[in-house]
Structure 1
Amino acid sequence: MAYPNTTIFNATIHNVTNLDSSVITLRHSAAGWTASVTIKLLISVVSVLLNSSVLLIHYFVPAYINPFSVYLLALYLANIFYILTSRPMEILDELYGLYPAAGYPLCMLYLYQKVSSIVPVLFHVLISLNRVWAVTFPVSYRQRHTRRLAVYICLGTVAYVHFLNLPPYLVDTLKYYPPVYAKYHDCGHVSVNFLDFPRVDEIINRLLPTFIVLTTYIFIIVKRWKRKAGNQVSASKSLTRTTQEQSLKTLETSRRSVKPFIVVSVTTASVLICYVPVQIVFFLVLFFRMNLPGSVYSAVTTLYSLEMIVDPLMWMCSLHRTKKP
């Protein structure tokens, strides 16, 4: 998974100071088969296979589809879309120098991954916030959280990402990028106008979502502990109320195909392991202009791409056995 601020990072680690016609040159020739290309290709193939497999399982076994699983399905669709629209061109360029012959429309599709890469990140936030609702207002959650509402929330998130992030990229693509592409005929060039946006992008679309996921998990742990303690105290005082809550809990368990707490736990762990390192690196580069070795960039972005393998695995690991009626 290519990190969206790759341009700024490469410009920094190569000490580029002279901007030729408002352009930063990122690649001059094809690299051919390398360990990095091989790893990228392997991760991409495995990611597509795993995400597609989970989607097919839900298609052939509709019983697995419930309000909570809608967020997971949306995440897997976003993962597949991102991989198919960005990774093939990236790998082919490293192998054969595809960019000069790609054509302007295909180049623009590749640059669109800077926007599409944000969607999976925010779907992880939705999973965490969904659990916050569930543990804070359990009765309201069971009564009001439906599959239709989950679909609307996912669609609203996609619309929010495009509304917030697409305009800057469109301005750069339509107004500033054409003369750059006409001169260099290479997707590896970007206009200087775009260089003012990555810091805001890093804070709003990367650091803030990660902070929300990590803090909400702590909140969920605390609320679960308090609720369990409260249930033990109130059990002897209100037997009728406890019976009703047990019935609602049984109904919810019969509807869901996964254990949501396991899902949010794996989500938080994967964000901490896969997202945080690359965000620390780019934060240092963007805000402190630090020059880090290229091997550091390669390592953290490879780790970042592993998230799309962990996503479908967390669903498989969180499945629980359901008793036959």
Structure 2
Amino acid sequence: MDSNRTNTTNVTALLNGSTIEGPNWTFTPSFTLFIQLSAFVNNGAMVVVFARNAALITPFTVYLFNLFASNFIVSIFFYSIELINELYSAWWLGYAMCTMFQYTSWVLTGSMCIAHGTIALNRLWAVSFPVSYRRYHKKRFAVAVIATLWISLHIIVIPGLVLDAVWYRPPMETNGCNINTDAPQAWLWFAQLVIMDTPVVIVVAVYPIICYKTIQRNRARVRPAGATGTKMASRRQRAPSTVSPSVRSDLEASVSVRAGGEKQIEHRMLCCRLPGVRRGNGHGFLALTLMTSTVLLCYSPASVYFTLYICFNIDVPGMFSKVMILYELAAVLDPIWFMLSLSSLRAAFRRTFIPCH
């Protein structure tokens, strides 16, 4: 993904001792600037919402906050260096900044991918094992999971960055700053597969399982309309004769509404939210659907492209710019989708930014 982008800048100007050309505002840096500003505003607003609404923080929304915070940090650090890299014809930021560029491209953008995978696994646990989920999944548990993932991410990335900086990095005067790093190939394969590819596979694979579990739970929870009607009819037959005709007609009307409306209720539960979660609770099935669509549309093409490039040395012509455009959109879409699909997040947003609403 972003973290695997190879710097192909022209360093002829440096070799000739002349001034580096730039800034060159083509479509690519212009789009990167748009993404940076949009991601900064959208995710920054979500971070403020969480900071000002303590009641919004639940064991589940801790994972959402981690996603928004990752997107926000990426918009500040990674995209700032990436924008400069795209504007100028050669790398002129120095050796230390190149290492920083590699760090932000692997650790920070990798945290975005891992955040999506963590949310998907959390929803799978909630649907598959609801009893253990309610018993063990607390705020401290969620915070511990996120902290463990961040620590593990650094454990994976730091050795490769050190190897690149100390032994394997070629002169930047002739090769520029390669944010793939020139560390051993085995490390590149491992980092790409674990940090970038595995979360995408998890999100895409988990979603149909959650759909299946959701349908099963709703079918088990909703009684057949015919059985309900029969039970209520037998109750009406045993009802005292003292019940007035008007009350009896009201009872019959309520029975018919229940018998005809249960499948509609099941449909709404399936399409709008996870089973067993009250409306407005913030654990939306729709949110998971939109997140999966974003991962499938934005992350999957880049994951396939860079896996082919790093592991098999296959560079599909003309695909780099296209997959990068899709990949960068994810940081902008995440807060929009979650706010539109989760009523609790929308309410907190209105309280924070529209207090007189």
TM-score using structure 1 length: 0.78
User: Which residue of the partner structure matches residue 51 of structure 1?
Assistant: 43
Q: Spell out the pairing of 1:158-237 with structure 2 (5 A cutoff).
A: 158-177=150-169, 180-181=171-172, 186-188=176-178, 192-232=182-222
Q: Which of these residues, 277, 287, 300, is aligned with residue 323 of structure 2?
A: 300
Query: Which among 339, 343, 348 is matched to residue 320 of structure 1?
Result: 343
Which of 52, 63, 66 is residue 71 of structure 1 equivalent to?
Answer: 63
- After alignment, is 282-291 or 73-82 more displaced? 282-291
Residues of 2 paired with 1:223 and 1:192: CA distance? 44
Q: Structure 1 residues 81-90 or 150-159, which shifts more?
A: 81-90
Alignment-derived partner of residue 244 in structure 1: none
Matches of 2:71 and 2:312 in 1, distance apart?
31
Query: What is the CA distance between 1:205 and its match in structure 2?
Result: 2.0
Structure 2 Cα separation of the partners of residues 61 and 90 of structure 1: 33
Aligned with residue 139 of structure 1, among 124, 131, 139? 131
> Displacement of 1:250 after TM fit?
11
2:112 aligns with one of 120, 136, 157: 120
Corresponding position of 2:2 = 3
The aligned amino acid for 1:285 is Y
CA deviations on 1:172-218 (whole Å, 9 max, x unpaired) are: 223333x634x659435876444443333332222222111111111
* Aligned amino acid, residue 4 of structure 1: S
Deviation for aligned residue 1:118: 1.0
Q: Is the 8 A contact 1:30 1:96 kept in 2?
A: yes
* Local SS of the residue matching 1:99: coil
Aligned CA RMSD, in angstroms, stands at 3.2
Moved more, 38-47 or 197-206: 197-206
Distance 1:29 1:305, change over 3 A: same
Q: Give how far 1:74 is off.
A: 0.6
C-alpha contact (below 8 Å) 2:60/2:142 kept by paired residues:
yes
Distance 1:293 1:193, change over 3 A: same
2:249 paired with 1:258: no
Measure how far apart 1:163 and its partner are.
1.3
CA contact (8 A) 2:197 2:303 kept: yes
CA distance in 2 between counterparts of 1:284 and 1:170 reads 25
Q: Distance in 1 between matches of 2:57 and 2:114?
A: 21
Distance change (3 Å), C-alpha of 1:217 and 1:56: same
Q: Deviations over 1:36-62 (max 9, x none)?
A: 111110011000100000111122222
User: Is the contact between residue 3 and residue 179 of structure 2 (CA under 8 Å) also seen in structure 1?
Assistant: no
Using a 3 Å threshold, how does the CA distance of structure 1 residues 190 and 204 change in structure 2: closer, same or farther?
Answer: closer
Higher alpha-carbon Rg: 2
1:260·1:318 contact (CA, 8 Å) conserved in 2? yes
Aligned partners of 1:287, 1:176: CA distance in 2, in Å? 18
SS in 2 for 1:285: helix
Using a 3 Å threshold, how does the CA distance of structure 1 residues 139 and 227 change in structure 2: closer, same or farther? same
User: 1:239 aligns to what?
Assistant: none
Between 199-208 and 130-139, the greater mean CA deviation after superposition = 199-208
Taking the TM superposition and a 5 Å limit, the aligned residue runs for 1:273-284 are 273-284=297-308
Does 158-167 or 35-44 show the bigger shift?
Answer: 158-167
Partners of 2:331 and 2:47 in 1: CA distance? 14
Displacement of 1:319: 2.2
Q: Which amino acid aligns with 2:334?
A: D
Q: Which amino acid aligns with 1:223?
A: K
1:252 Cα deviation after fit:
6.0
In structure 1, list runs of 5 or more residues that go unmatched: 15-27, 237-248
The change in CA–CA distance for 1:96 and 1:211 in structure 2 (over 3 A counts) is closer
Q: In structure 2, which of residues 330, 334, 338 is the aligned counterpart of residue 311 of structure 1?
A: 334
Q: Is the 8 A contact 1:277 1:300 kept in 2?
A: yes
SS in 2 for 1:311: helix
Structure number with greater CO (CA < 8 Å, separation at least 6) is 1
Q: Distance in 1 between matches of 2:100 and 2:207?
A: 35
CA, structure 1 residues 258+265, in 2 after alignment: closer, same or farther (shift >3 Å)?
Answer: same
For 2:88 and 2:4, the matched residues in 1 are separated by 23
Matched, 1:271 2:295: yes
Distance 2:51 2:181 in 1: 43
Report the Cα offset of residue 120 of structure 1.
1.1
Amino acid at match of 2:211: I
Could you tell me which runs of 5 or more consecutive residues in structure 2 were left unpaired when the two chains were aligned: 11-19, 228-273, 348-357
What do residues 81-107 of structure 1 show as CA deviations (whole Å, max 9, x unaligned)? 12222111221233245732x233322
- Say whether 1:286 aligns with 2:285: no
Aligned length: 289
Give the partner amino acid of 1:209. Answer: P
Aligned AA (1:279): S
- d(CA) in 2 for partners of 1:191, 1:307: 24
Q: Give 1:253 shift.
A: 3.7
